[in-house]
Amino acid sequence: MAIALVILAAGKGTRMNSDLPKVLHRLGAAPLIAHAMSSGQGLEPEEVIIVAGHGADQVRAAVGKINPDARVVLQEEQLGTAHAVLQALPELEGFEGRVIVLYGDTPFIRTETLENMIDSPADVVVLGFEAADPGRYGRLVAHGTALEKIVEFKDATDEEAEITLCNSGVICAEAATLRELLPVIDNDNAAEEFYLTDLVEIARANGMAAEVVTCHESETLGINSRKELAQAEAAFQARMRAEAIENGVTLTAPETVFFALDTYLGADCVVGPNVVFGPAVTVETGAEIMAFCHLEGCHISRGATVGPFARLRPGAELAEDVHVGNFVEIKNAILDEGVKVGHLTYIGDADIGEHTNIGAGTITCNYDGVMKHRTTIGKRAFIGSDTMLVAPVSVGNDAMTGSGSVITQDVPDEALALGRAKQVVKQGLATKLFEMLRAQKARKANS
């Protein structure tokens, strides 16, 4: 069955007190809208349409990074949810299949829940939930799973307000049904808005069937304020930690580990306390991430160890059995099998061959103030402590640099490179300098 997603993302989010569009606030190191897109992407949709309004250019740029095939349309005036979906229909011209309407600020709806909606034979399917505190949610007037109508809280009678089955806002219907019925919806209600929820009554009046599919209330959490965003972050992290443990990952202090939406950890990984996973991190089976590491945009292979206190930045690729130790930063660099970078080192824009050892204090000097340059180190090389490798430069297989060297020229295979200034010793000069400096300090104190 062909599926299309329409994700509503036009709201400003006034309660966020922010110039940033609400759907671009981050949850699990990803924009809120990325979560909604991820849930829907599990359905393998043919079309993804985002309806933007406030900050449309920013939303368009963010969506393009998440899914370049998604299209963004503009809702210039926010006249209600039905009006928003109407803006998407021209982009679905010729599409014949089911359309699911999602919300960019509702991040937790599971793909399995959306599949349940698709499997329903009804013409219009609404996602509902039993609310612990119905509050101002719209109420679902239903008999079993058969849905009679949706009533907005502000338009509900006293009897309807007692209903605890509430509306999530998510709707599924055939594209042809939306084309036929959306233009019929009017704004004759307390808010003078065109409600997508009116689709149910109109469908039933036209002899169509409407049904409610339910999910747990936690899936329907919408984000409208910073407080709710913080609550959602806590819920997201708790879920990710539980899933990681269930999948065979050891978290020695789970409550201190933070995940991104797309973090992948293989079975038998070990993650120490206070580790932060930014976007686009993959850690293969059996690797270990020690305490106080920050990782993003990197790939860590089997048997590798990272940390403690290490930072892996985008483009860091660690092959099997690589060791990256404490206070080491790796950026846009490929470390082949068995490479060891033990401590106090920066490796940026580099290729390092297998079983090479990088001494403490080594820096690849990759930036000349205008452009980045690459360092290449061969297999089984030994880079002495406090070596400055001024890129572009290469060090050959089985080569060595002396400690404290500044390497500005290529080093051939099996060669030793020394780049130190000549040491000069002046007998007795240290004592004289100290006496002079102490005298200067005393004069300043007495002046």
Residue where a domain stops, chosen among 203, 220, 237: 220
The answer to whether residue 441 sits within a structural domain is no
What's residue 270's pLDDT? Answer: 98
Give residue 152's pLDDT band: very low, low, confident or very high (50, 70, 90): confident
With tokens 């690729």, the residue in question is 317
Last residue within a domain, chosen from 220, 238, 261: 220
HEC secondary structure over 1-14: CCEEEEEEECCCCH
Rg (alpha carbons) of the chain, rounded to whole number: 30
pLDDT given at position 348: 98
188: confidence class by pLDDT, cuts 50, 70, 90: confident
Buried/exposed 110-140: b ≥16 CB within 10 Å, e otherwise: eeebbebbeebebbbbbbbbebeebeebbbb
Same domain, 166 and 200: yes
The pTM of the full predicted model, rounded to 2 decimals, is: 0.90
DSSP 372: B
- Domain end residue (candidates: 174, 202, 220): 220
Mean pLDDT of the chain: 96
- Say yes or no: 156 and 241 in one domain: no
Q: Are strands 146-151 and 139-143 parallel, antiparallel or unpaired?
A: antiparallel
Res. 155 pLDDT band, cuts 50 70 90: confident
Q: How far apart are CA 32 and CA 170, in angstroms?
A: 16
pLDDT for res 109: 97
Alpha carbon 334 to its chain centroid, in Å, reads: 23
Peptide bond into 21 cis (omega under 30): no
Same structural domain, 165 and 236 = no
| pLDDT score for 12 | 83
| Shared domain check, 292 and 158 | no
Long-range contacts, stretch 70-76, CB < 8 angstroms, 24+ apart: 70/37, 71/47, 73/49, 75/10, 75/51
Nearest to 308 by CA among 286, 291, 330: 291
Together in a domain, 189 and 58: yes
**Token digits of residue 375:** 């360092």
Range in 101-115, 389-403, 418-432 the model is least confident about: 418-432
Is 424 domain-assigned? no
DSSP 3-state assignment of 52? strand
71-74 and 276-277 strand pairing: unpaired
Do 356 and 257 share a structural domain?
yes
Say yes or no: 190 and 66 in one domain. Answer: yes
Domain presence at residue 158: yes
CATH code: domain of residue 398: 2.160.10.10
What lies within 8 Å, CB to CB, of 189 at 6+ separation is 152, 154, 155, 195
What is the extent of the structural domain holding 117? Answer: 3-220
User: Are both 52 and 182 inside the same structural domain?
Assistant: yes
Distance CA 263, CA 237 (A): 11
CA 179 → CA 78, 125, 289, distances in Å? 20, 16, 52
Provide the annotated active-site residues. Answer: 343
Q: Is 331 among the domain residues?
A: yes
296 falls within a domain: yes
Task: Give the pLDDT confidence of 22-63 residue by residue, as tens digits.
Answer: 999 999 999 999 999 999 999 999 999 999 999 999 999 999
Q: Are residues 121 and 152 in the same domain?
A: yes
- My answer on whether omega of the bond before 392 falls inside 30° of 0, hence cis, is yes
Per-residue pLDDT for 190 more than 90? no
Q: CA-to-CA distance for 172 and 215, rounded, in angstroms?
A: 15
CATH number for the domain spanning 142: value is 3.90.550.10
Q: Which tokens belong to 395? A: 């060090």
> Is 423 a member of any domain?
no
Query: Does residue 95 share a domain with residue 195?
Result: yes
Check pLDDT > 90 for residue 191. Answer: no
When divided into structural domains, the chain yields a total of 2
User: Is 70 found in the same domain as 213?
Assistant: yes
- Structure confidence at residue 1 (pLDDT): 86
Query: What H or E segment, with its residue span, contains residue 79?
Result: none
Using DSSP, state whether 442 is helix, strand or coil: helix
pLDDT for 421:
86
CB atoms within 10 A of CB 445: 7
Domain shared by 170 and 295, yes or no: no
| pLDDT number for residue 189 | 77
